Amino acid sequence: QVQLVESGGGVVQPGRSLRLSCAVSGFTLSSFGMHWVRQAPGKGMEWLAFISYDGKKKLSADSVRGRFTVSRDNRKDTLYLEINSLRPEDTAVYYCAKDRGWMELIDYWGQGTLVTVSS
């Protein structure tokens, strides 16, 4: 079955950088676009970024563009999210998610990894 497992979260000081990983199984990563979404404590879902199946197309939310970078390694079945200049407001659970296909949205999500930005 489809599985997405995020890792790399933890407590990080403001201004530092962090790279989150998402290991996938149960489907062919190279055939699907992927998303990152986050949920701050007590808040709703916020879409962050999308990367196409081949990594050639990337989209990101205005709120994180320039600080967040999505990438993928299809040979390793892994998705990444690089976060720079971390701010306290970046504290959230970060989810990776699989795209259903062209013109579609998310059909599978991971369980998330918690990032806490604090000094």
Partner 1 sequence: QSVLTQPPSASGTPGQRVTISCSGSSSNIGSNYVYWYQHLPGMAPKLLIYRQTLRPSGVPDRFSGSKSGTSASLAISGLRTEDEADYYCAAWDDSLSSVVFGGGTKVTVL
Specify the pairing of strand 92-99 against strand 113-117: antiparallel
* Site size for partner 1 (CB under 8 A): 25
CB 60 within 8 A of CB 48: yes
Using CB under 8 A as the binding rule, whether residue 108 contacts partner 1 is answered as yes
Using CB under 8 A as the binding rule, whether residue 32 contacts partner 1 is answered as no
Token pair of 11 as six digits: 């407590």
Using CB under 8 A as the binding rule, whether residue 114 contacts partner 1 is answered as no
Token pair of 82 as six digits: 């690089």
Using the minimum distance from each CB to partner 1, give the nearer residue, 54 or 107. 107
Question: For partner 1, which stretch binds (CB under 8 A), given 22-30, 67-75, 83-91, 110-118?
Answer: 110-118
Kindly state the helix (H) or strand (E) to which residue 58 belongs, with its residue range: strand 58-60
Nearest distance, CB of residue 56 and partner 1, angstroms: 16
Taking CB under 8 A as the criterion, the residue among 20, 83, 95, 115 binding partner 1 is: 95
Taking CB under 8 A as the criterion, the residue among 4, 22, 51, 92 binding partner 1 is: 4
Q: Who's near 25: CB < 8 A, 6+ residues apart?
A: 2, 3, 77
CB 108 within 8 A of CB 100: no
Residue ranges that bind partner 1, judged by CB under 8 A: 4, 35, 37, 44-47, 50, 59-62, 95, 97, 100, 103-112
